[in-house]
């Protein structure tokens, strides 16, 4: 995702994969682990951004498509 051309996708511990690594390590220290077939969501990678009139937001979901918003009054 970008807002006015500035990327915002690294807010999840610097990279969404770092969130998964943290989870695996945390569960390992608790001797819980992860089970085959479990679905893990890393949550938001973009956080929340303040926007103002004329700001442009763009999110690309790969093969699912993209969305672009222009904020106006």
Question: What token pair was written down for 1?
Answer: 């995702």
Residue 56: per-residue pLDDT? 95
pLDDT of residue 68: 96
Query: What is the pLDDT confidence band of residue 10, given thresholds at 50, 70 and 90?
Result: low
| CB of 57 closer than 8 Å to CB of 71 | yes
Place of tokens 């973009």: 46
In the numeric block, the tokens 């089970």 are attached to: 35
Query: How many Å apart are CA 68 and CA 1, to the nearest integer?
Result: 10
The structural domains of the chain, with segments of one domain joined by +, span 2-70
SS3 70: strand
* Tens digit of each residue's pLDDT (9 = 90 or more) over 14-59: 777 888 888 889 999 999 888 889 888 766 667 778 899 999 999 8
> What gap in Å lies between CA 42 and CA 12, rounded to an integer?
8
């Amino acid at each position: 995702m970008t807002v006015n051309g500035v990327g915002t996708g690294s807010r999840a511990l610097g990279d969404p994969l770092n969130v998964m690594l943290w989870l695996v390590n945390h569960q390992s220290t608790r001797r819980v682990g992860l089970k085959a077939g479990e679905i893990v969501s890393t949550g938001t990678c973009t956080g929340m951004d303040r926007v103002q009139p004329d700001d442009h937001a763009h999110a690309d979901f790969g093969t699912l498509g993209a969305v672009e918003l222009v904020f106006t009054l």
